Structure 1
Amino acid sequence: MLFDTHTHLDAPQFDEDREEVIQRAVDNGVTRMINIGFNRETIPTTMKLAESYDFIYAAVGWHPVDAITMRDDDLEWISSLCSHEKVVAIGEIGLDYHWDTSPKDVQQQVFRKQIGLARELNMPIVIHNRDAHEDIVKILKEEKASEVGGVMHSFSGSWETAKLCLDMGFHISFGGPITFKNAKQPKEVLAKVPLDRLLIETDAPYLTPHPFRGKRNESAHVKLVAEQAADIKNLSLEELGEITTRNALERFGI
Protein backbone atom coordinates (compact mmCIF):
# COMPACT_ATOMS: atom_id res chain seq x y z
CA MET A 1 0.00 0.00 0.00
CA LEU A 2 2.12 2.85 -1.34
CA PHE A 3 1.23 6.44 -2.27
CA ASP A 4 3.40 8.28 -4.80
CA THR A 5 2.63 11.84 -3.74
CA HIS A 6 4.47 13.55 -6.60
CA THR A 7 4.74 12.30 -10.16
CA HIS A 8 4.60 13.59 -13.74
CA LEU A 9 3.05 10.69 -15.64
CA ASP A 10 1.82 13.08 -18.34
CA ALA A 11 5.43 13.90 -19.30
CA PRO A 12 6.43 13.17 -22.91
CA GLN A 13 8.90 10.54 -21.63
CA PHE A 14 5.84 8.31 -21.07
CA ASP A 15 4.10 8.89 -24.39
CA GLU A 16 5.06 5.46 -25.75
CA ASP A 17 4.05 3.32 -22.75
CA ARG A 18 2.03 5.38 -20.25
CA GLU A 19 -0.59 2.68 -19.58
CA GLU A 20 2.10 0.06 -18.96
CA VAL A 21 3.94 2.43 -16.60
CA ILE A 22 0.77 3.01 -14.59
CA GLN A 23 0.05 -0.73 -14.50
CA ARG A 24 3.60 -1.44 -13.25
CA ALA A 25 3.01 0.98 -10.40
CA VAL A 26 -0.20 -0.81 -9.45
CA ASP A 27 1.60 -4.17 -9.68
CA ASN A 28 4.23 -2.85 -7.25
CA GLY A 29 1.67 -1.92 -4.60
CA VAL A 30 1.09 1.73 -5.51
CA THR A 31 -2.55 2.39 -4.66
CA ARG A 32 -2.63 6.16 -5.26
CA MET A 33 -0.64 8.85 -7.06
CA ILE A 34 -0.77 12.63 -7.34
CA ASN A 35 0.15 13.99 -10.74
CA ILE A 36 1.46 17.54 -10.86
CA GLY A 37 0.30 20.10 -13.42
CA PHE A 38 2.64 23.09 -13.25
CA ASN A 39 2.18 25.28 -16.35
CA ARG A 40 -0.07 25.97 -19.33
CA GLU A 41 0.88 22.70 -21.04
CA THR A 42 0.84 20.24 -18.13
CA ILE A 43 -2.26 21.35 -16.23
CA PRO A 44 -4.67 20.07 -18.94
CA THR A 45 -2.79 16.76 -19.32
CA THR A 46 -2.73 16.32 -15.56
CA MET A 47 -6.48 16.88 -15.35
CA LYS A 48 -7.05 14.35 -18.12
CA LEU A 49 -5.02 11.71 -16.23
CA ALA A 50 -6.86 12.39 -12.96
CA GLU A 51 -10.20 12.06 -14.72
CA SER A 52 -9.13 8.81 -16.45
CA TYR A 53 -7.97 6.86 -13.37
CA ASP A 54 -9.78 6.56 -10.04
CA PHE A 55 -6.50 6.33 -8.12
CA ILE A 56 -4.71 9.31 -9.73
CA TYR A 57 -5.28 12.75 -8.21
CA ALA A 58 -4.11 16.17 -9.36
CA ALA A 59 -2.23 19.14 -7.98
CA VAL A 60 -2.26 22.29 -10.12
CA GLY A 61 -0.06 25.36 -9.85
CA TRP A 62 2.62 27.41 -11.57
CA HIS A 63 6.22 26.24 -11.38
CA PRO A 64 8.84 28.87 -10.48
CA VAL A 65 10.85 28.03 -13.61
CA ASP A 66 7.79 29.15 -15.64
CA ALA A 67 6.91 32.09 -13.37
CA ILE A 68 7.70 34.68 -16.03
CA THR A 69 4.94 33.25 -18.27
CA MET A 70 2.15 33.44 -15.69
CA ARG A 71 -0.73 35.83 -16.33
CA ASP A 72 -3.59 36.89 -14.05
CA ASP A 73 -6.03 34.68 -15.95
CA ASP A 74 -3.78 31.68 -15.24
CA LEU A 75 -4.27 32.26 -11.51
CA GLU A 76 -8.03 32.43 -12.11
CA TRP A 77 -7.78 29.17 -14.09
CA ILE A 78 -5.98 27.42 -11.22
CA SER A 79 -8.59 28.78 -8.82
CA SER A 80 -11.46 27.41 -10.93
CA LEU A 81 -9.83 23.96 -11.15
CA CYS A 82 -9.49 23.73 -7.37
CA SER A 83 -13.22 23.00 -7.09
CA HIS A 84 -12.73 19.79 -9.12
CA GLU A 85 -13.17 16.69 -6.96
CA LYS A 86 -9.82 15.22 -8.07
CA VAL A 87 -7.72 18.36 -7.39
CA VAL A 88 -6.18 18.00 -3.93
CA ALA A 89 -3.49 20.73 -3.76
CA ILE A 90 -2.02 23.83 -5.36
CA GLY A 91 1.45 23.03 -6.66
CA GLU A 92 4.13 22.67 -7.44
CA ILE A 93 4.91 26.25 -6.48
CA GLY A 94 7.96 27.85 -4.92
CA LEU A 95 11.40 29.08 -5.92
CA ASP A 96 14.10 27.70 -8.19
CA TYR A 97 17.42 29.57 -8.12
CA HIS A 98 19.23 26.83 -10.05
CA TRP A 99 17.67 27.31 -13.50
CA ASP A 100 18.00 30.92 -14.61
CA THR A 101 14.72 31.14 -16.56
CA SER A 102 12.60 33.48 -14.41
CA PRO A 103 13.96 36.44 -12.40
CA LYS A 104 13.95 35.90 -8.63
CA ASP A 105 11.59 38.81 -7.98
CA VAL A 106 9.08 37.42 -10.50
CA GLN A 107 9.32 33.94 -8.95
CA GLN A 108 8.71 35.39 -5.49
CA GLN A 109 5.72 37.43 -6.68
CA VAL A 110 4.11 34.38 -8.35
CA PHE A 111 4.86 32.25 -5.27
CA ARG A 112 3.20 34.78 -2.95
CA LYS A 113 0.11 35.05 -5.19
CA GLN A 114 -0.40 31.29 -5.15
CA ILE A 115 0.00 31.03 -1.38
CA GLY A 116 -2.64 33.75 -1.13
CA LEU A 117 -4.94 31.75 -3.40
CA ALA A 118 -4.36 28.60 -1.33
CA ARG A 119 -5.32 30.45 1.86
CA GLU A 120 -8.40 31.87 0.16
CA LEU A 121 -9.49 28.38 -0.98
CA ASN A 122 -8.12 26.51 2.07
CA MET A 123 -5.99 24.20 -0.12
CA PRO A 124 -2.64 22.64 0.86
CA ILE A 125 0.39 23.64 -1.21
CA VAL A 126 3.20 21.58 -2.74
CA ILE A 127 6.54 23.37 -2.51
CA HIS A 128 9.33 23.23 -5.09
CA ASN A 129 12.55 24.48 -3.52
CA ARG A 130 15.86 24.44 -5.36
CA ASP A 131 18.79 26.39 -3.90
CA ALA A 132 16.37 28.80 -2.22
CA HIS A 133 15.92 27.50 1.35
CA GLU A 134 16.17 30.86 3.12
CA ASP A 135 13.76 32.73 0.84
CA ILE A 136 11.29 29.81 0.79
CA VAL A 137 11.02 29.81 4.60
CA LYS A 138 10.85 33.62 4.73
CA ILE A 139 7.99 33.81 2.21
CA LEU A 140 6.07 30.91 3.76
CA LYS A 141 6.20 32.75 7.10
CA GLU A 142 5.33 36.18 5.70
CA GLU A 143 2.41 34.83 3.67
CA LYS A 144 1.05 32.82 6.63
CA ALA A 145 1.31 29.52 4.75
CA SER A 146 0.96 27.71 8.08
CA GLU A 147 -2.79 28.38 7.77
CA VAL A 148 -2.98 25.74 5.00
CA GLY A 149 0.26 23.75 5.30
CA GLY A 150 1.30 21.33 2.62
CA VAL A 151 4.30 19.35 1.43
CA MET A 152 7.98 20.13 1.03
CA HIS A 153 8.45 18.15 -2.18
CA SER A 154 11.67 16.16 -2.74
CA PHE A 155 13.24 17.73 0.33
CA SER A 156 16.96 18.42 0.03
CA GLY A 157 17.61 20.93 2.80
CA SER A 158 19.11 20.72 6.26
CA TRP A 159 17.41 19.53 9.43
CA GLU A 160 17.26 23.18 10.55
CA THR A 161 15.23 24.07 7.43
CA ALA A 162 13.07 20.95 7.81
CA LYS A 163 12.29 21.87 11.41
CA LEU A 164 11.17 25.38 10.40
CA CYS A 165 8.84 23.82 7.81
CA LEU A 166 7.52 21.25 10.28
CA ASP A 167 6.81 24.07 12.72
CA MET A 168 4.62 25.68 10.03
CA GLY A 169 2.61 22.45 9.66
CA PHE A 170 4.27 21.06 6.55
CA HIS A 171 4.93 17.42 5.71
CA ILE A 172 8.38 16.46 4.40
CA SER A 173 8.52 14.28 1.30
CA PHE A 174 11.50 12.25 0.10
CA GLY A 175 12.23 10.65 -3.25
CA GLY A 176 14.96 8.80 -5.13
CA PRO A 177 17.94 10.76 -3.74
CA ILE A 178 17.62 9.04 -0.34
CA THR A 179 18.73 5.83 -2.08
CA PHE A 180 22.00 7.38 -3.34
CA LYS A 181 25.13 6.22 -1.52
CA ASN A 182 26.42 9.78 -1.03
CA ALA A 183 23.07 11.17 0.20
CA LYS A 184 24.17 11.68 3.79
CA GLN A 185 22.10 14.78 4.61
CA PRO A 186 18.71 13.58 3.22
CA LYS A 187 19.08 10.32 5.14
CA GLU A 188 19.95 12.16 8.35
CA VAL A 189 16.97 14.50 7.93
CA LEU A 190 14.59 11.63 7.15
CA ALA A 191 15.73 9.87 10.32
CA LYS A 192 14.60 12.91 12.36
CA VAL A 193 11.30 13.70 10.62
CA PRO A 194 8.37 12.55 12.80
CA LEU A 195 6.59 9.54 11.31
CA ASP A 196 3.27 11.39 11.13
CA ARG A 197 4.83 14.05 8.85
CA LEU A 198 6.67 11.76 6.45
CA LEU A 199 5.71 11.28 2.78
CA ILE A 200 7.33 9.47 -0.16
CA GLU A 201 7.37 10.25 -3.88
CA THR A 202 9.17 9.64 -7.17
CA ASP A 203 9.05 12.93 -9.12
CA ALA A 204 9.00 10.59 -12.13
CA PRO A 205 10.42 10.73 -14.76
CA TYR A 206 13.14 12.53 -12.76
CA LEU A 207 15.29 11.69 -9.70
CA THR A 208 15.44 7.96 -10.39
CA PRO A 209 16.46 5.89 -7.34
CA HIS A 210 19.35 3.45 -7.15
CA PRO A 211 19.88 0.98 -8.85
CA PHE A 212 18.17 2.60 -11.86
CA ARG A 213 19.84 6.00 -11.49
CA GLY A 214 20.45 7.58 -14.88
CA LYS A 215 17.38 5.94 -16.44
CA ARG A 216 13.80 7.17 -16.66
CA ASN A 217 12.05 7.14 -13.30
CA GLU A 218 8.50 5.84 -12.89
CA SER A 219 5.95 5.57 -10.09
CA ALA A 220 6.63 1.85 -9.49
CA HIS A 221 10.05 2.93 -8.15
CA VAL A 222 8.41 4.58 -5.13
CA LYS A 223 8.74 1.10 -3.64
CA LEU A 224 12.54 1.54 -3.66
CA VAL A 225 12.15 4.87 -1.86
CA ALA A 226 9.83 3.22 0.66
CA GLU A 227 12.31 0.39 1.28
CA GLN A 228 15.12 2.86 1.99
CA ALA A 229 12.90 4.99 4.24
CA ALA A 230 11.73 1.88 6.11
CA ASP A 231 15.33 0.85 6.66
CA ILE A 232 16.24 4.29 8.04
CA LYS A 233 13.18 4.31 10.31
CA ASN A 234 13.64 0.68 11.43
CA LEU A 235 10.22 -0.30 10.11
CA SER A 236 8.97 -2.99 7.76
CA LEU A 237 8.07 -1.94 4.23
CA GLU A 238 4.42 -2.65 5.05
CA GLU A 239 4.51 -0.38 8.13
CA LEU A 240 6.23 2.43 6.25
CA GLY A 241 3.74 2.15 3.38
CA GLU A 242 0.77 2.18 5.71
CA ILE A 243 2.03 5.21 7.66
CA THR A 244 2.98 7.34 4.64
CA THR A 245 -0.25 6.47 2.82
CA ARG A 246 -2.30 7.45 5.86
CA ASN A 247 -0.31 10.71 6.11
CA ALA A 248 -0.97 11.50 2.45
CA LEU A 249 -4.69 10.75 2.67
CA GLU A 250 -5.00 13.08 5.66
CA ARG A 251 -2.77 15.81 4.24
CA PHE A 252 -4.61 15.96 0.90
CA GLY A 253 -8.08 15.33 2.31
CA ILE A 254 -8.67 12.22 0.26
Structure 2
Amino acid sequence: MIFETHAHYEDEAFDIDREELLDRLPKEGIEYVVNVSSGIETVDKITQLMDKYSYIYGAIGIHPGSSMDLDEERFHWLREKAKHPKNLAIGEIGLDYYWDTPDRKTQKNWFVRQMEMAKELELPLVIHSRDAANDTFGMMKEAKAEAMGAIIHCFGYGVEQAKQYLNMGFYLGIGGVITFTNGRKLKEVVEYAPLEQLVLETDCPYLAPVPHRGKRNNSLYLTYIAKEIARIKNMDYETVVKVTSDNAKRFYRL
Protein backbone atom coordinates (compact mmCIF):
# COMPACT_ATOMS: atom_id res chain seq x y z
CA MET A 1 0.00 0.00 0.00
CA ILE A 2 1.23 3.47 -0.95
CA PHE A 3 1.43 6.46 1.41
CA GLU A 4 0.51 9.79 -0.21
CA THR A 5 2.35 12.41 1.86
CA HIS A 6 1.15 15.61 0.14
CA ALA A 7 -2.19 16.22 -1.58
CA HIS A 8 -4.67 19.09 -1.96
CA TYR A 9 -8.05 17.38 -2.35
CA GLU A 10 -9.86 20.46 -1.07
CA ASP A 11 -8.87 22.20 -4.33
CA GLU A 12 -11.69 23.22 -6.67
CA ALA A 13 -10.14 21.00 -9.37
CA PHE A 14 -11.77 18.07 -7.52
CA ASP A 15 -15.22 19.63 -7.10
CA ILE A 16 -16.71 17.60 -9.95
CA ASP A 17 -15.81 14.12 -8.64
CA ARG A 18 -14.10 14.45 -5.24
CA GLU A 19 -16.21 11.87 -3.41
CA GLU A 20 -16.02 9.31 -6.19
CA LEU A 21 -12.24 9.68 -6.51
CA LEU A 22 -11.54 9.58 -2.77
CA ASP A 23 -13.68 6.46 -2.38
CA ARG A 24 -11.49 4.73 -4.99
CA LEU A 25 -8.14 5.39 -3.33
CA PRO A 26 -8.12 2.70 -0.58
CA LYS A 27 -9.52 0.14 -3.04
CA GLU A 28 -6.67 0.85 -5.47
CA GLY A 29 -3.67 0.67 -3.18
CA ILE A 30 -3.52 4.03 -1.37
CA GLU A 31 -3.30 3.37 2.38
CA TYR A 32 -3.02 6.92 3.75
CA VAL A 33 -3.33 10.46 2.41
CA VAL A 34 -2.04 13.58 4.14
CA ASN A 35 -4.01 16.54 2.81
CA VAL A 36 -1.97 19.70 3.21
CA SER A 37 -3.38 23.20 3.72
CA SER A 38 -2.06 26.28 1.98
CA GLY A 39 -4.27 29.33 2.50
CA ILE A 40 -6.58 30.31 5.35
CA GLU A 41 -9.60 29.22 3.30
CA THR A 42 -8.29 25.64 2.95
CA VAL A 43 -8.02 24.80 6.65
CA ASP A 44 -11.69 24.13 7.40
CA LYS A 45 -12.11 22.21 4.13
CA ILE A 46 -9.25 19.92 5.13
CA THR A 47 -10.72 19.44 8.59
CA GLN A 48 -13.97 18.29 6.96
CA LEU A 49 -12.06 15.76 4.82
CA MET A 50 -10.22 14.42 7.88
CA ASP A 51 -13.51 14.02 9.71
CA LYS A 52 -15.19 12.24 6.79
CA TYR A 53 -12.50 9.81 5.61
CA SER A 54 -10.71 7.46 8.00
CA TYR A 55 -7.54 7.29 5.88
CA ILE A 56 -7.19 11.06 5.29
CA TYR A 57 -5.05 13.04 7.73
CA GLY A 58 -3.94 16.65 7.61
CA ALA A 59 -1.07 19.09 7.76
CA ILE A 60 -2.20 22.54 8.82
CA GLY A 61 -0.23 25.68 8.08
CA ILE A 62 -0.10 28.70 5.78
CA HIS A 63 1.90 28.67 2.54
CA PRO A 64 4.47 31.49 2.21
CA GLY A 65 2.54 32.88 -0.76
CA SER A 66 -0.50 33.38 1.49
CA SER A 67 1.38 34.49 4.61
CA MET A 68 0.26 38.12 4.18
CA ASP A 69 -3.22 36.92 5.27
CA LEU A 70 -1.94 36.08 8.75
CA ASP A 71 -2.26 38.37 11.76
CA GLU A 72 -2.26 37.67 15.49
CA GLU A 73 -5.96 36.78 15.61
CA ARG A 74 -5.75 34.41 12.65
CA PHE A 75 -2.53 32.91 13.97
CA HIS A 76 -4.29 32.05 17.25
CA TRP A 77 -7.14 30.52 15.22
CA LEU A 78 -4.62 28.50 13.19
CA ARG A 79 -2.97 27.15 16.34
CA GLU A 80 -6.34 25.93 17.61
CA LYS A 81 -7.12 24.25 14.27
CA ALA A 82 -3.71 22.54 14.35
CA LYS A 83 -4.74 20.75 17.56
CA HIS A 84 -7.18 18.57 15.59
CA PRO A 85 -6.44 14.93 16.56
CA LYS A 86 -5.84 13.94 12.93
CA ASN A 87 -3.53 16.85 12.16
CA LEU A 88 -0.07 15.32 11.84
CA ALA A 89 2.17 18.28 10.94
CA ILE A 90 2.46 22.02 10.42
CA GLY A 91 2.57 22.78 6.72
CA GLU A 92 3.01 23.70 4.13
CA ILE A 93 5.16 26.53 5.44
CA GLY A 94 8.41 28.08 4.25
CA LEU A 95 9.72 30.54 1.69
CA ASP A 96 8.90 31.20 -1.97
CA TYR A 97 11.18 33.65 -3.76
CA TYR A 98 10.03 32.57 -7.22
CA TRP A 99 6.86 34.64 -6.95
CA ASP A 100 8.36 36.90 -4.25
CA THR A 101 4.88 37.78 -2.99
CA PRO A 102 4.41 38.86 -0.25
CA ASP A 103 7.71 40.54 0.60
CA ARG A 104 10.47 38.37 2.06
CA LYS A 105 10.27 39.97 5.50
CA THR A 106 6.61 38.91 5.81
CA GLN A 107 7.36 35.39 4.58
CA LYS A 108 10.26 34.99 7.01
CA ASN A 109 8.27 36.32 9.97
CA TRP A 110 5.44 33.82 9.57
CA PHE A 111 7.82 30.99 8.70
CA VAL A 112 9.55 31.50 12.06
CA ARG A 113 6.25 31.85 13.92
CA GLN A 114 4.83 28.66 12.41
CA MET A 115 8.00 26.72 13.21
CA GLU A 116 7.66 27.94 16.80
CA MET A 117 4.05 26.77 16.79
CA ALA A 118 5.12 23.33 15.55
CA LYS A 119 7.62 23.10 18.38
CA GLU A 120 4.97 24.05 20.94
CA LEU A 121 2.53 21.47 19.56
CA GLU A 122 5.27 18.84 19.13
CA LEU A 123 4.52 18.39 15.44
CA PRO A 124 6.90 17.98 12.48
CA LEU A 125 7.14 20.36 9.52
CA VAL A 126 6.11 20.18 5.87
CA ILE A 127 8.33 22.69 4.10
CA HIS A 128 7.72 24.62 0.89
CA SER A 129 10.93 26.13 -0.48
CA ARG A 130 11.26 27.59 -3.97
CA ASP A 131 14.27 29.61 -5.13
CA ALA A 132 15.10 30.12 -1.45
CA ALA A 133 17.44 27.26 -0.58
CA ASN A 134 19.96 29.13 1.56
CA ASP A 135 17.45 31.16 3.57
CA THR A 136 15.20 28.13 4.13
CA PHE A 137 18.09 25.99 5.35
CA GLY A 138 19.54 28.76 7.50
CA MET A 139 16.21 29.54 9.18
CA MET A 140 15.46 25.88 9.82
CA LYS A 141 18.88 25.39 11.33
CA GLU A 142 18.41 28.44 13.57
CA ALA A 143 15.01 27.11 14.66
CA LYS A 144 16.61 23.71 15.44
CA ALA A 145 14.13 22.09 13.08
CA GLU A 146 16.02 18.80 13.18
CA ALA A 147 14.45 18.25 16.62
CA MET A 148 10.98 18.49 15.03
CA GLY A 149 11.65 16.68 11.76
CA ALA A 150 10.68 17.87 8.29
CA ILE A 151 9.73 16.85 4.79
CA ILE A 152 11.14 19.18 2.15
CA HIS A 153 8.11 19.02 -0.09
CA CYS A 154 8.43 18.88 -3.88
CA PHE A 155 12.21 18.94 -3.55
CA GLY A 156 13.57 21.11 -6.35
CA TYR A 157 17.21 21.78 -5.55
CA GLY A 158 20.41 19.94 -6.49
CA VAL A 159 22.52 17.31 -4.77
CA GLU A 160 24.53 19.82 -2.71
CA GLN A 161 21.40 21.28 -1.13
CA ALA A 162 19.97 17.78 -0.71
CA LYS A 163 23.05 16.79 1.30
CA GLN A 164 22.42 19.65 3.73
CA TYR A 165 18.84 18.60 4.38
CA LEU A 166 19.61 14.88 4.48
CA ASN A 167 22.42 15.47 6.98
CA MET A 168 19.88 17.12 9.28
CA GLY A 169 17.77 13.97 9.11
CA PHE A 170 15.03 15.45 6.93
CA TYR A 171 13.01 13.63 4.27
CA LEU A 172 12.73 14.70 0.63
CA GLY A 173 9.27 14.69 -0.97
CA ILE A 174 9.50 13.20 -4.48
CA GLY A 175 6.70 13.84 -6.96
CA GLY A 176 5.84 13.85 -10.65
CA VAL A 177 8.85 15.93 -11.73
CA ILE A 178 10.99 12.79 -11.33
CA THR A 179 9.29 11.42 -14.48
CA PHE A 180 9.88 14.53 -16.62
CA THR A 181 12.56 14.48 -19.32
CA ASN A 182 13.79 17.83 -17.94
CA GLY A 183 13.86 16.47 -14.38
CA ARG A 184 17.56 15.51 -14.55
CA LYS A 185 18.49 17.42 -11.38
CA LEU A 186 15.87 15.60 -9.31
CA LYS A 187 16.90 12.25 -10.79
CA GLU A 188 20.45 12.93 -9.60
CA VAL A 189 19.15 13.75 -6.11
CA VAL A 190 17.11 10.53 -5.98
CA GLU A 191 20.11 8.52 -7.14
CA TYR A 192 22.23 10.07 -4.36
CA ALA A 193 19.73 10.10 -1.47
CA PRO A 194 19.16 7.02 0.70
CA LEU A 195 15.73 5.50 0.05
CA GLU A 196 15.20 5.67 3.83
CA GLN A 197 14.91 9.47 3.51
CA LEU A 198 12.53 9.67 0.55
CA VAL A 199 8.72 9.89 0.63
CA LEU A 200 6.17 9.82 -2.20
CA GLU A 201 3.88 12.74 -2.95
CA THR A 202 1.75 14.09 -5.78
CA ASP A 203 0.99 17.71 -4.76
CA CYS A 204 -2.23 16.98 -6.64
CA PRO A 205 -3.97 18.47 -8.54
CA TYR A 206 -0.59 19.81 -9.70
CA LEU A 207 2.51 18.22 -11.30
CA ALA A 208 1.02 15.03 -12.75
CA PRO A 209 3.71 12.54 -13.77
CA VAL A 210 4.33 11.29 -17.30
CA PRO A 211 2.21 9.96 -19.06
CA HIS A 212 -0.41 12.28 -17.52
CA ARG A 213 1.71 15.44 -17.51
CA GLY A 214 -0.38 18.57 -17.94
CA LYS A 215 -3.56 16.88 -16.69
CA ARG A 216 -5.08 16.89 -13.21
CA ASN A 217 -2.98 14.83 -10.83
CA ASN A 218 -4.25 12.40 -8.16
CA SER A 219 -2.81 9.85 -5.73
CA LEU A 220 -3.40 6.89 -8.07
CA TYR A 221 -0.53 8.23 -10.18
CA LEU A 222 1.99 7.66 -7.37
CA THR A 223 2.75 4.31 -9.00
CA TYR A 224 4.55 6.13 -11.85
CA ILE A 225 6.72 8.01 -9.34
CA ALA A 226 7.58 4.84 -7.41
CA LYS A 227 8.45 3.01 -10.63
CA GLU A 228 10.80 5.79 -11.73
CA ILE A 229 12.53 5.83 -8.34
CA ALA A 230 12.92 2.05 -8.59
CA ARG A 231 14.45 2.42 -12.07
CA ILE A 232 16.89 5.12 -10.98
CA LYS A 233 17.98 3.23 -7.87
CA ASN A 234 17.97 -0.17 -9.60
CA MET A 235 15.70 -1.85 -7.07
CA ASP A 236 12.28 -3.51 -6.92
CA TYR A 237 9.15 -1.36 -7.18
CA GLU A 238 7.74 -3.19 -4.13
CA THR A 239 10.79 -2.19 -2.09
CA VAL A 240 10.33 1.48 -3.00
CA VAL A 241 6.66 1.38 -2.01
CA LYS A 242 7.34 -0.38 1.30
CA VAL A 243 10.31 1.72 2.40
CA THR A 244 8.76 5.08 1.44
CA SER A 245 5.54 4.08 3.20
CA ASP A 246 7.48 3.08 6.33
CA ASN A 247 9.34 6.42 6.14
CA ALA A 248 6.08 8.36 5.96
CA LYS A 249 4.54 6.44 8.86
CA ARG A 250 7.64 7.10 10.94
CA PHE A 251 7.66 10.79 10.07
CA TYR A 252 3.92 11.32 10.63
CA ARG A 253 3.93 9.01 13.69
CA LEU A 254 1.20 6.75 12.36
Q: Normalized against structure 2, the TM-score is what?
A: 0.97
Cα-to-partner distance string for 1:140-178 (whole Å, 9 max, x where unaligned): 111111110110001010111111111222111100000
| Cross-structure match for 1:45 | 45
Q: What SS class does the counterpart of residue 92 from structure 2 fall into?
A: strand
User: Do 1:32 and 1:55's aligned partners in 2 also have CA atoms closer than 8 Å?
Assistant: yes
| Cross-structure match for 2:75 | 75
Equivalent-residue separation in structure 2 for 1:206 and 1:195 (angstroms): 24
AA in 2 matched with 1:234:
N
| Cross-structure match for 2:251 | 251
AA in 2 matched with 1:156:
G
| Cross-structure match for 1:142 | 142
Match status 1:13 vs 2:13: yes
User: Do 1:26 and 1:220's aligned partners in 2 also have CA atoms closer than 8 Å?
Assistant: no
| Cross-structure match for 1:90 | 90
Structure with higher RCO (Cα < 8 A, 6+ apart): 1
User: Do 1:28 and 1:223's aligned partners in 2 also have CA atoms closer than 8 Å?
Assistant: no
1:244 Cα deviation from its structure 2 partner: 0.6
Shift in alpha-carbon separation, 1:24–1:230, aligned structure 2, 3 A: farther
| Alignment: residue pair count | 254
For 1:22-41, list aligned pairs within 5 A: 22-41=22-41
User: Do 1:7 and 1:36's aligned partners in 2 also have CA atoms closer than 8 Å?
Assistant: yes
Match status 1:233 vs 2:207: no
AA in 2 matched with 1:171:
Y
| Cross-structure match for 1:181 | 181
1:237 Cα deviation from its structure 2 partner: 1.8
| Cross-structure match for 1:60 | 60
| Cross-structure match for 1:154 | 154
Percent pairwise identity: 40
| Cross-structure match for 2:169 | 169
User: Do 1:64 and 1:111's aligned partners in 2 also have CA atoms closer than 8 Å?
Assistant: yes
User: Do 1:37 and 1:44's aligned partners in 2 also have CA atoms closer than 8 Å?
Assistant: no
Unaligned runs of 5+ in 2: none
User: Do 1:57 and 1:88's aligned partners in 2 also have CA atoms closer than 8 Å?
Assistant: yes
Unaligned runs of 5+ in 1: none
| Cross-structure match for 1:117 | 117
